[in-house]
Amino acid sequence: MLTDNLIMIVKVYLGLILLMIVATGAQWVTFRLLRVRVEELQIFYGRKLFTRNCGNLKIVLGCIPTGFSLTHDQERFKTLTLAARLSVFLVIPVVSLLGAATVLGIGPSLQQFLAGFQELLKGGVHPKTEGVRLIGCLFSYSDGAPVPLIGLLATKWAALSLLPIGFLPGQKCIHWLIYQNDAWKEVHAPDLLLGALGMLFFFSWILSCAFFVFR
C-alpha cells in the first residue's frame, strides 16, 4: 500500500513538472511575440547549484525541485500596454485549459477547472482530510492512466495559477492592476502577506502528499 501511494504521488509530481515546463514555454513564446528579451531561466528554486550563460540567456539550476521562472527585460516590459503585460501571466491558465480540453473534452475540463478553486483551498486548509481525499480523487477519476491524469492536473493547475497567493500569476495580475509595476521588483505589504499565505498553502499540500503516502 505504501509503495502504491508513493508511486501515485510521483506520478502527480512528474505530471506537475511537465505542466510547469509547458507553462514556462508558453510564457517564453509570449515574451518573444511581445519582443521582450528573456534574460534568465530559473530551473527549480532555492540555493543555486549551477549557473551557465548561453549567449544572452542565463540558466540557473536550484536545489528545490519545484517550479520554473523567467526573468525578462524590465525596461522593455514597462513600455507594453497593461493588456500585453497581463497576457504574459494569463497565458499559463489559458494554455493549461486548452491542453486539458484536448484530453478530457471542453465540458469536463471547464467543470473540473471551476471545481478546482474550492478543492485547492479546502485541501490547503485541511491537508489531512480534504487534501488526502482530493489526491485520491485524481486517480479514481483518471483510473491512474497518465494522459487523463495530466489532463485533470492541467485543470487544477489552471485554477491554481489564478489564485491570488504566493506570487502565482493571479497574484501578479492583481499587483499589476493595483500598482502598475513589476511584481518581482517592487514588493508591497499585501504582496508579502499573499506570499506568506502562498508558502503556507504550498507546505500544506506537501503535508497532504505525506499523509496520503503514509495513510
Tell which residue, 187, 201, 155, 197, has the closest CA to residue 16: 155
Number of domains in the chain: 1
Tens digit of each residue's pLDDT (9 = 90 or more) over 64-106? 888 888 888 888 888 888 888 889 888 999 999 999 999 999 9
Enter the C-alpha cell of residue 89. Answer: 501571466
Secondary element (H or E) of residue 110: helix 106-125
At residue 83, the pLDDT reads 86
At residue 27, the pLDDT reads 93
Q: Lowest-confidence range among 33-47, 74-88, 120-134, 185-199?
A: 185-199
At residue 94, the pLDDT reads 94
Per the CB < 8 A criterion, the answer to whether 88 and 69 are in contact is: no
At residue 129, the pLDDT reads 93
Within-domain flag for 41: no
* Mean pLDDT for all residues in the chain: 85
At residue 187, the pLDDT reads 58
CA distance 195 to 97: 25
Mean pLDDT of 15-42: 92
Domain span including residue 163: 79-213
Within-domain flag for 51: no
Tens digit of each residue's pLDDT (9 = 90 or more) over 119-158? 999 999 999 999 999 988 887 876 768 888 899 999 999 9
Within-domain flag for 71: no
User: Both ends of the chain: CA-CA distance in Å?
Assistant: 9
Within-domain flag for 68: no
Q: Lowest-confidence range among 99-103, 167-171, 198-202?
A: 167-171
The count of other CB atoms within 10 Å of the CB of residue 167 is 18
Looking at per-residue confidence, does 15 or 173 come out higher? 15
Within-domain flag for 119: yes
Confidence at 186, pLDDT banded by 50, 70, 90: low
| Structure-derived torsion over alpha carbons of residues 182, 185, 191, 197, reported in degrees to the nearest 10 | 110
Within-domain flag for 21: no
What is the residue type of 206?
A: I
At residue 178, the pLDDT reads 66
Residue 183: is its pLDDT beyond 60? no
Q: Sign of the C-alpha dihedral, residues 181, 185, 190, 195?
A: positive
Enter the C-alpha cell of residue 64. Answer: 528545490
72: helix, strand or coil:
strand
